[in-house]
A and B are shown apart, each in its own frame.
Chain A
Amino acid sequence: MNTRKVRFITGLALGIVLAVLPFFVNNYWTDVCVSIGLYALLALSLNVILGQAGIFHMGHAAFYAVGAYTTAILNTMFQWPIFWTMPLAGLAAGLVALVVARPIIHLRGDYLLIVTIGIVEIVRIALVNDIFGITGGSNGIFGISRPQAFGFRIVKSIHFYYLVWGMCGISLLLFHFLWNSRFGRALNYIKHDDIAAEGCGVDVSHYKLMAFVLGAFWAGMAGTLYSAKMLTIAPASFNFMESVIIFAVVILSGGSQLGVLVSAFLFIGLPEVMRGLTESRMLFFGLAMMLMMVWRPQGILPPLPRVYKKALARAQALAREKSE
């Protein structure tokens, strides 16, 4: 059995376990899984930027914050239903990403990393300083209402579990198609050699920017789910450490979607299992990042090489013809 099949079966098994999990565990663990799901969603969206396009982006919490605040403001000030704010939250985050990334997207790897750190700090400071008088300063915004769809109110942990993981499932599927599309191939090319890509006529800056905006859009929608789950949001939830955690989850995953899920479970879920270590979980997080880079720099599950079945078949047919 080849690696591809093993991964497919593992993924399927993981999906089945996730689908029935809340019926076998108590409320607390369902909540933990909701939190893992939110991180998985964020990591999946960052994976488009970092894993697929290879852009070192460590400010993802900024776009998450923009999405969460958009939802909170529209909901508490204008009484918009939560689900209606979701596309707007995504759009707002995407727009912010477009504006801030446009002038910096051409910067080389580690410089871009620093600038994105700067962005997340600026966003956090802006939120604390109650920018435009609508973000509520360092106390944040409270009194966000529960989401409601077709007359069904989403209140319990188990409801959120299916909401968040359902969103994860949709994202997995969409990003899988993206990975196999012309767009995904361009990103892959850029990641491995952006100069060669430019030489082959790929508009590198454009594709990078689009990947960035798409990832930010998704993070904004994840922000909506976060607001709906927490009912109250504050700038402290979107600090730089949050960005680092999301970044680390993607880096350690290796860049495949299954890898992202596995590493989200490992790094968000495992510390919950070892309750005694709550205080020192970040210590182990740092240690794991160092050790991982020394021993397995490619990550837990790197994406498998692409196979082009049609092209392969054509080439084989051609070779057969020649030999005959």
Chain B
Amino acid sequence: MEFFVQQLLNGLAVGGIYALVALGYTMVYGVLKLINFAHGDLFAVGAYLGLTLLVSCHLGQTLPPFFAVLLVFVLVALMVALVGYLLERVAYRPLRGAGRLSAVVSALGASIFFENALMLIYGARVFVYPDFLRPDFTVTLFGYQIPGMRLLVIAVSVVLMIALQIFMLRTKVGAAMRAVAIDQGAARLMGINVNRIISLVFLIGPGLGGAAGILVGIYYGQIDFLMGWSYGLKAFTAAILGGIGNIPGAMVGGLLLGVVEAMASAYFAVAWKDAVAFFVLILILIVRPTGFLCERTADKL
């Protein structure tokens, strides 16, 4: 039972990270019907920028760890958001009228570009996050010793998700965003500046992705330039799992995928851990392509 609970919490922590990245995919898909393949790499960019700020700028030494991490979170989210914004302007906006394939290929190109830019700037080796940042307290919950780090990661991702949900449901801009996702033309007629909303989506999604990058760095302690693809594909799977374009769906899908993966590697075989997500993806697309939380639409998949 102890083992099961530990695996469950581990799954939820990883799942929270997947969910944060999945939000970026699902938001962009919601407004543009585009799979932003470069999103996973923006997440990796976030992890690397966080490392640079912590190590090269000595933020980790000058400030107490808690504030250093908080500051880095905010700065990195802002920087990655800016990169996401520029990406949309340069690589996606000129293709708005062209076919879907053009935008997908452009996104793939952007992904390859970011991945290799990271490799050229930082080098192809694995980088280690400073470990004094990792809180190593344990919490006793229902009689189980649980690493505090896991709970923190779960807490951070849940707080960010709730904040996003409140933003989407309670603010005027959030309403505009939902309107653009439903019908761009009608939204424009209602006086919504569609281009500005799309830019905003490309600020929020990558911002959350960048934050998730730092979470991975602190949680696992190491990052590499290929992490964008491995996490990106899994986060995308999570987004499909919950029904792509659906924000609560991405959250639930992320957590679910994290738990399924943790259970599969604990009880089935560790070596096949990375394949589990893809099996789940293929299965879900065959059995229920609209995902778990998506309303029925006439759109044929």
Spell out A's residues near B (CB within 8 Å).
56, 103-104, 107-111, 113-115, 117-119, 121-122, 125-126, 128-129, 240, 244, 247-248, 251, 279-280, 282-283, 285-290, 292-294, 297
Contacts and interface: CB of A to CB of B under 8 A. Distances in A.
A90 to B, nearest CB: 24
A293 B102 contact: yes
A107 B109 contact: no
A107 B112 contact: no
Contacts of A56: 101, 104
B38 to A, nearest CB: 9
Contacts of A289: 105-106, 108-109, 112
A237 to B, nearest CB: 16
Nearest to B87: A290
B257 to A, nearest CB: 13
B285 A104 contact: yes
A287 to B, nearest CB: 6
Contact of A287 (B35, B94, B109): B109
B202 interface: no
Interface string B275-290: 1001101100110010
A283 B275 contact: no
B98 interface: yes
Contact of B300 (A108, A122, A283, A287): A108
Contacts, number: 119
Contact of B101 (A109, A111, A280, A282): A109
Contact of A294 (B35, B95, B281): B95
Contact of B116 (A104, A108, A117, A280): A280
B13 interface: no
Given A110-B35, A297-B95, A287 B113 contact: yes
Given A110-B35, A283-B116, A288 B109 contact: yes
A294 B274 contact: no
Contacts of B300: 108
A114 B236 contact: yes
A244 B271 CA distance: 24
A44 B7 CA distance: 47
27 contacts: A108-B301, A109-B101, A110-B100, A111-B301, A114-B35, A114-B281, A119-B278, A122-B275, A128-B271, A129-B272, A244-B112, A282-B112, A283-B113, A283-B120, A285-B109, A285-B112, A285-B116, A289-B105, A289-B109, A290-B106, A290-B109, A292-B105, A293-B91, A293-B98, A293-B109, A294-B91, A297-B102
A99 B90 CA distance: 40
B261 to A, nearest CB: 13
A289 B275 CA distance: 28
A109 B34 CA distance: 11
Contact of B112 (A103, A118, A128, A286): A286
B229 interface: yes
Contacts of A285: 109, 112, 116
Interface string B234-251: 001000100000000000
Contacts of B108: 244, 247-248, 286, 289
Nearest to B299: A108
A60 to B, nearest CB: 14
A287 B113 CA distance: 6
The 7 closest A-B pairs by CB, nearest first: A289-B109, A286-B112, A286-B113, A118-B278, A290-B109, A283-B116, A293-B106
B69 to A, nearest CB: 31
B135 to A, nearest CB: 33
A77 to B, nearest CB: 23
A2 B103 CA distance: 32
Q: Is the interface of A mostly helix, strand, loop or mixed?
A: helix
B278 A122 contact: yes
Nearest to B300: A108
B19 interface: no
B259 interface: no
Nearest to B281: A118
Contacts of A240: 229
B37 to A, nearest CB: 9
Interface in B71-130: 90-91, 94-95, 98-106, 108-117, 120
Contacts of B90: 290
A111 to B, nearest CB: 6
B294 to A, nearest CB: 13
Contact of A103 (B35, B271, B279, B286): B286
B204 interface: no
B21 interface: no
Contacts of B112: 244, 282-283, 285-286, 289
Given A109-B100, A286-B113, A290-B91, A279 B120 contact: yes
B39 to A, nearest CB: 13
B233 interface: yes
B111 A286 contact: yes
Contact of B98 (A286, A287, A297): A297
B59 to A, nearest CB: 29
